[in-house]
Amino acid sequence: MLHSRLVRYIDEVARSGSIRKASARLNVAASAINRQIIALEQEIGSPLFERLPRGLRLTTAGELLVSHIRQTLHDHDRMRTRIEALKGLRRGEVSVATMGGLAGGLLARVITRFSHDHPGIKLKVKSLTREAISAAVISGEAELGLAYNLPLNPRLTTFVKATYQVGAIVAPDHPLGRRVSLRLADCLPYPLVIADPTISIRDVIEARAPTDLELEPSVETNSIEFMKRLAAKPPNISFLNQADVEEEARNGLLVWVPVRELQGQPQVLSLVHRSKGALDSAAHLLAGEIGAALDAHPPETVRKNASL
């Protein structure tokens, strides 16, 4: 097995694409890192990196080695977490890949409480695209993935899922703020703030909007937080689901109004982990906390994996 320091040297160089950057992050002399990489390349008889004018790029052999290294590091962290579990979960680490809107909303509330109850468990949260979330969990870079409308993948197991309807969000004093429900046509006279195609809400709107309606956005964005900020200023109107605006609605900053055309295609929020192997104790504990938060919604919207 490779020396633990060399393992981390190669992993950091691969991530940063530069020995100089890896040196700064690891606080290790660049010459020492370079010397050990060259020695390993000579030992295995194959270059691990292509030396380019603007940095380093992994060779095919390097990609194979880095994949093994990251799995080794992940297994090492899991082993340490399991040992800590024997001590009552006083220490450990859990990484979560999620979407930006969830990171700032539901997940932030869960993690605030979890960190208070388990101060020795270190949490890492990355905001990624839907496709990158699946990839991060499958590769082992993240123990848990939380996202809307994740594609089915046999290498992922769903811990819990919940469905949420997409509707209009407006300020309480917006002309539409007191309506019980709306049609998309009711929204057209107002400035529309709509998610760009990288966000799954856009898929829902495009799939359900009547073909004779032209939903021309005044603002198009990939930021859930920006959508909420603009929707809080009349006469703007935007479209999100109930979970996205739960806190703002509770504090009287936004109103969520059902839109009839959008009710037939809910967003499915899934918490997933890698199918290969069981969750570590700390990750399982956090997954349970997230599941409990989803359980706070009406029972018919939540379905759990009965095997977990």
Is CATH 3.40.190.10 the right assignment for the domain spanning 166-262?
A: yes
What digits encode the pLDDT tens for the residues 72-117? Answer: 777 776 666 655 554 555 567 899 999 877 776 778 888 998 888 8
Strands of 219-221's sheet, edge to edge? Answer: 219-221, 192-195, 237-241, 166-170, 255-258
What are the DSSP E strand ranges found in the chain?
A: 49-52, 55-58, 92-98, 121-127, 144-148, 156-164, 166-170, 192-195, 219-221, 237-241, 255-258, 267-274, 302-304
Radius of gyration of the chain (CA): 23
Domain boundaries, the chain: 4-67, 87-163+267-304, 166-262
Does the pLDDT at position 249 exceed 70?
Answer: yes
Does the pLDDT at position 299 exceed 50?
Answer: no
Pick among 3.40.50.1370, 3.40.50.720, 3.40.950.10, 3.40.190.10: CATH of 87-163+267-304: 3.40.190.10
pLDDT of residue 209: 87
Tokens at 10, concatenated: 């190669």
278 contact partners, CB below 8 Å, separation of at least 6 = 284
- Give CATH for domain 4-67: 1.10.10.10
Summarize the confidence of residues 143-168 as an average pLDDT: 91
Q: Assess whether the region 4-67 and the region 166-262 belong to the same CATH fold.
A: no
